[in-house]
Amino acid sequence: MVQQKPAPKYLNLIKIKLPPGGIASIGHRISGVLMFLLIPFIAWEFSRSLESEQGFREVQDCLQSSPVRLLSLLLVWSFSHHLLAGIRHLFLDVEIGVEKGSANRTAWLVNLGALLLTALYAASLL
């Protein structure tokens, strides 16, 4: 009979090194939560922009403020990461790219691709 190692008593989450797939998976969950939490704000701003011409101008002014621009960067990262990770998961579901090497490469592509798309968006804001 094989003896199992005892479960660790203290986990230092900062020192745990996640594989790229783990980072992509956690990012997929975080991006989904962020998008879900931002739905009311987006819907409210959209509603305000459609009410009147003054409301539209107020929303435009709001979207030009620094905090909202930073929030938009976060939202673009969420959209891009969630999209890329979702596509990766769909391929994994049909058993494409499930080998360790290709799974690590696609996870890196998801993580870096989302950052690249966010950087392109940030460059367009300048």
The residue segments making up the domain with residue 58 are 22-125
* 27 closest CA partner among 122, 109, 98, 123: 109
Residue 43 covered by a domain:
yes
Task: Give the pTM.
Answer: 0.82
Domains of the chain: total: 1
Domain assignment present for 96: yes
Question: Could you tell me which of 123, 106, 42 has the C-alpha nearest to residue 79?
Answer: 42
Q: Say if residue 1's pLDDT is above 70.
A: no
Is residue 118 included in any domain, yes or no?
A: yes
Alpha helices per DSSP H over the chain: 20-51, 53-63, 66-93, 100-125
> Do the domain assignments include residue 100?
yes
Residue range 25-35: average pLDDT? 95
Residue 5 located in a structural domain: no
In a domain, 12, yes or no: no
Q: Is 1 part of a structural domain of the chain?
A: no
CATH at 35: 1.20.1300.10
Report DSSP state, residue 2.
Answer: P
Average pLDDT score over residue span 26-44 = 95
State residue 17's pLDDT score.
84
28 vs 13, higher pLDDT: 28
Give residue-wise pLDDT tens across range 48-73: 999 999 999 999 999 999 999 999 99
Q: Which residue has the tokens 């230092």?
A: 12
Nearest C-alpha neighbor of 20 from the set 107, 80, 87, 84: 107
